[in-house]
Structure formats: structure tokens, C-alpha cells
Amino acid sequence: MKYVILMGAPGAGKGTQARLLEAALHLPQVATGDLFRHNLKNQNRLGQLAQSYMDRGELVPDDVTVDMVRERLSQPDCATGAILDGFPRTLAQAVAFDSLLAELNGRICVVPYIHVDVDVLVARLLQRAAIEGRADDNEETIQKRMVVYQQQTTPLLDYYREKGALVQINGDQPVAQVQQDLLHAVAMGSQ
């Protein structure tokens, strides 16, 4: 089984690119946001556990997130692998995912990092907020999200760079060109 871990800051185009990769590679997109919504909505064991932390105003622990990913990757449509979008988000999740890969007899094919300069990301997110009517997505909030993302992501980038899996993709180009670069990175990582 091969796994593609798609990384990039909010506004870099991960969701769009993950959907395009899903169609091109015939691998399901596994987005942690979708997993949380699914588990919370269905109030299954993991959803109830996550909700208990959220109700107390606490972050959901990494092991709960990893269990959601484990459960999703055990589904038949993930038999040949998946495109991970938003996971791992922390170094602890990356280490736990390595253990999960050993259980699944899988491997990371490539970790494309869609890089876009912060000023471009902020402009994109402000435009998206205006289009979608998100009053809470103002420049100050977006800048804070970027700082948190950088703090969490830098160790992950270093971790996957050391493993030789990280490939930086220029995300400040047309969607079709980013997709072409991603498909090239996946093809190279599959060899």
C-alpha cells in the first residue's frame, strides 16, 4: 500500500489538489477534518471520545486522531493506499503513523509540501473569507493560524526531509501546473 501525505498551509490548495489527485491516482482522499465530522456526527466510540475532550475545551489527543485514521485506512477503498490531507499534523502523529504503516504493511510514497509565501496565503484566505462570508476569518486570525501552522509543521518538514520523502511544490502557480508537479512527484516517489 502506498500513501501520499499532502502538506501545505491553510490556503495553499491542499483540498483542491487532494481531490484532483484522488481522481488521477484512484486513491481515496483521507482528510482529518472529514474524519472528525463523520465520527462526531455518527456519535460512534471515537466521536464520543473526541467530543468529551472538545466539551472540556481541550485539544483531542493525538492517539484519538490516529485511531480515527487507523479505522478509515482499514476500509476497503483504502486497500491500495490513500492520500492523507491534514494528517499527520504533529511530530507525535507522524511517529504514530509510522507504526500504523508497519501494521498495514504500507509505505509513504512521497510527502509533497505545497509551498506558498505567507503574504499570498493571507490574501487567498481573506478573499475566501469574503466570498464565503466568514466574519471570523480576518487578517489577525489568519496570521495567528499561520504562526501555529509554522510551529507545528516545521518539525514535520524536517522529519520527512530526513527520511528523503519530502518534495517541495510551488503552490503559487495555476492549479493545473501544481497538479502536474504533484503527479510527477508521486510518480518519482513510487519508483
Distances (CA, A) of 41 to 10, 37, 38, 109: 24, 6, 5, 32
134: annotated active-site residue: yes
2, 19, 107, 128: the active-site residue: 128
56: annotated active-site residue: no
72: annotated active-site residue: no
Write out the H or E segment, with its range, that includes residue 5: strand 2-8
89: annotated active-site residue: yes
37, 45, 134, 163: the active-site residue: 134
Pairing type for strands 29-31 and 107-115 reads unpaired
145: annotated active-site residue: yes
Is 87:62 a contact under the CB 8 Å cutoff?
no
Is 174:12 a contact under the CB 8 Å cutoff?
no
19, 70, 107, 145: the active-site residue: 145
DSSP track, 85-118: ES---SHHHHHHHHHHHHHHT-EEEEEEEEE--H
14, 45, 70, 72: the active-site residue: 14
2, 19, 89, 107: the active-site residue: 89
What is the set of active-site residues?
Answer: 14, 89, 128, 134, 145
